[in-house]
Structure 1
Amino acid sequence: MASPGSDPVQLLDALTTVLGDDPKALSQRGSDEYDKANGSYFSAFENEVKPLYIAKPATVEQVQRLVEALRPHVIAGSCRIAIRGEGHAPFAGSANVQDGVTIDMRRLKGITLSADRSTVEIAVGETWTTVYTELEKHGLTVAGARVGGIGVAGFILGVVLHGHDAMPSADSDFPSYTTHAGGLSMFSTRTGFACDSVVEFKVVLASGQLVRASADENADLWIALRGGLNNFGIVTSITMTTFKAGDIWGGITYYLPGAFPQLLRAVCDFVHNEDDQDVHVMCGTGYGFGHQAASCCMYHTAGKVNAPSLQRFTAVQPQIEPMGTMRTATHLEFCDEMGKYSTNGLRQFWATLTIKPDVALMEMFHDEWQKTLDSIKDAEGFIVSFVYHPLTKALLENSAKAGGNAMDIPPADGPLFVVMLRPTWTRAEDDERIFAAVEALVETLKRLAAERGLLHRYIFTNYGYPKHNVMAGYGDRSLARLAATSEKYDPEGIFQKGVPGGFKLP
């Protein structure tokens, strides 16, 4: 959406007052720096949005001064702002803004261990690869993303959407179908959502003031930022709990398509009956390059080789054994592996819903998915993943013990599955029919689940679709709390009205 009545000269004056005319700090249309920065998003849809200016602060003080300089323009309705981290949200306008100002946070760097090494402060310009690389020097890690190239802030706040393309391996025609959910880590069964490991945020408010948010200081803001998206300010750093980094056993196992019903039964058995909290799994099926396959990403974070808790998945047949990657490796190595399945610049989006486990329902979902696939798989470069991410009761219980978050899912509601659909394709001419087909499929799946009393209110924001009322999925109690927090810290609604990207509070 364009910024109404934006005055480019006034905006440029405001920006240069803060950043000067260094192209590394401030770029505008027609420059190589602008084209490089604006063409580096994960999604083609974001690359196609053209802001007037891209501001790239290198210090927290510059972020504060930018907010102060742009604030009167936002209040006057003459400027809109986007906040960009690594830029993995796929929808146009999520982290970019047409004819406005995009604040690119990638120059804010720094990874600082506390004196006792129990926590680490991470600047929002870092990626999880840089975080894990630094922490592993000290034998430590954190419950961050499963793909290293993702930015820190968007993943924690719930803004980032990211997954993996179904790309063939070097020695097989079958595609791999793996994906991850922002806010879920390999350690989530034991630690809860990734945001539950955050003990402090530093955030620039709409006034330009820098504040800390923790359990002891601005606790309401701390809870809101744990999954509450970009509704409250600009986060400049997060501090997370660290723990010892040991070997992990796991990887990706691939199966012929006929094995998928077995996988559904196995993952439902897992969420209902498994009490091993060192296990993380996600199961899916997908299509690419004329082939279908099923997959299971599984990890035992205590390093047990083929642990009994995983044998329900490793025993499923028939497997595509040459493609399997099961082994013992480090957290960083597994995240690097997941990152290899990701490709920037494609046309892509995600859609999601949350259900209670039920094999019969999930088999119906699969039938509906196959019908939709048949209608759109002829699109050029078309690849699609259809994946189940378990939210076990242990995950939800451990999340609640960590102090709470914006999602506010009662542990008694578990176990649950976050269902994710993710198509990618290459031609703009196919946009309309693919969007329409997948939107219709999601509505069908929601109806089937609702009719059986198995649809849950929660909509996983990292996979949320703009046409869905994502924030309503947080529940009335959480929404009321988030609205009160927004009014307290941003009474003029700068981050509601002036930052249109992301899912906004009603």
Structure 2
Amino acid sequence: MIPIPGPVRLLKLIPLAAGVLADSSICDVLNSRVPGRVSYSGDSIYTASLSSYYTGYERDLYPSCIFRPTSAAEVSKFLQFVGSDEYSTSPLPQFAIRGGGHTLFTGAANINGSVTVDMRSMNSLTLSEDRKIASVGGGSIFSDIYPRLVPHNLTVMGGRVPGIGVGGFTTGGGLNFLSREHGFSCDNIYGYEVVLANGSVIYASASSHSDLWLALKGGSNNFGIITRFDLATFPQQQMWGGIVLYNYTDSQVDAQAQAFSNFMDTANFDSAADMDLILNFENSGFEIGNALFYSKPVANPEVYREFTSLPSPIISTLSFNDVSGMVTQFGAYLPSTLNRATELVYSFKNANATIYKQLIKIWENECNSLRGIDGLEVQFLVQPQPVTNGTNSLGLTAGETDNVIGLVTVAYNNAADDSEALKGLQNIVNQQVALLQKAKLYLPFKYLNYADQSQSPFSSYGERSKAHLETVSERYDPKKMFQEGVPGGFKLFA
């Protein structure tokens, strides 16, 4: 169990009026204004919230209190309060916004010695009369939403593993089983109910506050707190897919490299197919395999023939399932929590098999040099980029089917190994990027939801998109509450 220190109180600096004590904490006053929503260190809600973050980096931060709103009105009261003259400080009073809590790095969705706004009590789901829109609360978790849509033979474009929150996932882009056909998750959002820094509640859509609507499609937590997402639904019954793992051999690496290169060839594009090439180093051993998903009820579709015909898998879960079951099944092969973990992402155009083999060899060599690190796991993931329809702020060209995302993740047990592990991670990615640049295949885009805090994803969107995001931020948040008051995540003006 994680040790919880005693309460740390954040002091009010400027009283609203005579009679308000100067030593009252923000948490205490907030608790008096929105009763029953504030939890302190030692409370069961506080402890459960803290322990549910995905990585130890976030679990090791201790907010003064956790605020769990249940409505847009309560979020509005909170923002009016922290942005009022009563707590007007320089810099602004700081707080964190938390949904699923899956981002790896420190402070992305938690904070030391201040307020963390845990949105997960806002988890409603309502279908429109025509069932084309699923309105979900701003703290909803996709793996909780999917089973509620299964009886309707519907799905939404959410996370592919359990525990992913709607807020961070969609505002950072969002990769889904349907992304080769319909794009990023954020391409498929009709509207957002947003509470702005001044406490006003607005609805952003293509016809109302369209500039903000577009900015929220890739702009992360820089504009307000989203209390409702109106997501497009898609008819979905059974799909096919699962995990296949093989012994790691040179011949298997050669076959996988060729198969993935062919899969990503534009001539072989199949919009129903979404997959990952998975390379893993754990317990001083290598694994190679695939996560194969096909959104139609077709077993062993032709597009995957080069993968499914490979002999002697050591594990195969390929089967029919609904989206909810597929997410649960996929999640069973991933760690439910991590202690220390960092990942770096990059993008590139599809390569020939030789380039893929060289990328794998770079990863393999560096893994061998890191063998002595306790609890070491190094994963290299290669997957198709969604085929965007362009309804976002990511700066990508619509309709491109041969863009690839590369992701390298290092996980381990002890802080004493930070320097060596992170150096090894950076060495892998530096060499891989250099290879792709030399081959003129490298793309500047960095997918925000996979990016490390060192990677500046907004700059990778291009000057035009970044300038749009900055303009929208200045228009809707002129006092920079979400730039300076919410330090977590990626900031536009950093």
Q: Give the aligned partner of residue 61 of structure 1.
A: 73
Equivalent pair of 1:6/1:78 in contact (CA under 8 Å): no
For the pair 1:405 / 2:392, whether they are aligned, the reply is yes
**Letter of the 2:382 counterpart:** Y
Which segment is superposed worse, 362-371 or 382-391? 362-371
Q: Give the aligned partner of residue 329 of structure 2.
A: 337
Q: Give the aligned partner of residue 360 of structure 2.
A: 366
For the pair 1:225 / 2:216, whether they are aligned, the reply is yes
For the pair 1:465 / 2:452, whether they are aligned, the reply is yes
Q: CA deviation at 1:47?
A: 0.6
Unaligned runs of 5+ in 2: 1-7, 14-22
Q: CA deviation at 1:220?
A: 0.9
Q: Aligned-pair RMSD on alpha carbons?
A: 2.0
What CA distance in whole angstroms lies between the structure 1 residues aligned with 2:92 and 2:302? 60
**Letter of the 1:475 counterpart:** G
TM-score where L is the length of structure 2 = 0.91
What CA distance in whole angstroms lies between the structure 1 residues aligned with 2:12 and 2:433? 41
SS in 2 for 1:411: coil
Identity score, percent? 28
Equivalent pair of 1:282/1:389 in contact (CA under 8 Å): yes
Of 175, 192, 196 in structure 2, the residue corresponding to residue 184 of structure 1 is 175
Compared CA separation, residues 75 and 360, structure 1 to 2 (3 A)? farther
Which segment is superposed worse, 483-492 or 66-75? 66-75
SS in 2 for 1:93: coil
What CA distance in whole angstroms lies between the structure 1 residues aligned with 2:485 and 2:208? 27
Of 71, 75, 78 in structure 1, the residue corresponding to residue 83 of structure 2 is 71
**Letter of the 1:271 counterpart:** M
SS in 1 for 2:120: coil
Equivalent pair of 1:198/1:240 in contact (CA under 8 Å): yes
Q: Give the aligned partner of residue 174 of structure 1.
A: none
What CA distance in whole angstroms lies between the structure 1 residues aligned with 2:111 and 2:328? 31
Residue correspondence of structure 1 range 333-482 to structure 2 within 5 A: 333-340=325-332, 341-358=334-351, 359-391=353-385, 395-396=387-388, 399-400=389-390, 404-411=391-398, 414-482=401-469
Q: Give the aligned partner of residue 293 of structure 1.
A: 287
How many residues end up aligned between the 2 structures? 470
Equivalent pair of 1:54/1:103 in contact (CA under 8 Å): yes
Q: Give the aligned partner of residue 315 of structure 1.
A: 309
Equivalent pair of 1:199/1:239 in contact (CA under 8 Å): yes
Residue correspondence of structure 1 range 243-282 to structure 2 within 5 A: 243-258=234-249, 259-272=252-265, 273-282=267-276
Q: CA deviation at 1:138?
A: 1.4
Q: Give the aligned partner of residue 160 of structure 2.
A: 146
SS in 1 for 2:135: strand
**Letter of the 1:195 counterpart:** C
Q: CA deviation at 1:78?
A: 5.2
Q: Give the aligned partner of residue 14 of structure 1.
A: 29
TM-score where L is the length of structure 1 = 0.89
Which segment is superposed worse, 42-51 or 10-19? 10-19
Q: CA deviation at 1:331?
A: 1.0
Equivalent pair of 1:281/1:390 in contact (CA under 8 Å): yes
Equivalent pair of 1:5/1:78 in contact (CA under 8 Å): no
Q: Give the aligned partner of residue 16 of structure 2.
A: none
For the pair 1:104 / 2:118, whether they are aligned, the reply is yes
Equivalent pair of 1:5/1:79 in contact (CA under 8 Å): no
Which aligned segments of 4 or more residues in structure 1 are displaced greater than 6 angstroms? Answer: 2-6
Equivalent pair of 1:380/1:426 in contact (CA under 8 Å): yes
**Letter of the 1:191 counterpart:** H
What CA distance in whole angstroms lies between the structure 1 residues aligned with 2:376 and 2:227? 37
**Which string of whole-angstrom CA distances, capped at 9 and with x for unpartnered residues, describes residues 23-60 of structure 1?**
xx212234443333222211000011122221111221
Which segment is superposed worse, 29-38 or 183-192? 29-38
Q: CA deviation at 1:77?
A: 2.0
**Which string of whole-angstrom CA distances, capped at 9 and with x for unpartnered residues, describes residues 266-306 of structure 1?**
11111112232111111121111232111111112111111
What CA distance in whole angstroms lies between the structure 1 residues aligned with 2:145 and 2:328? 12
Q: Give the aligned partner of residue 173 of structure 1.
A: none
Q: Give the aligned partner of residue 163 of structure 1.
A: none
SS in 2 for 1:137: helix
Q: Give the aligned partner of residue 278 of structure 2.
A: 284
What CA distance in whole angstroms lies between the structure 1 residues aligned with 2:254 and 2:452? 27
What CA distance in whole angstroms lies between the structure 2 residues aligned with 1:411 and 1:257? 36
Equivalent pair of 2:9/2:27 in contact (CA under 8 Å): no
Unaligned runs of 5+ in 1: 159-181
Equivalent pair of 1:109/1:126 in contact (CA under 8 Å): yes
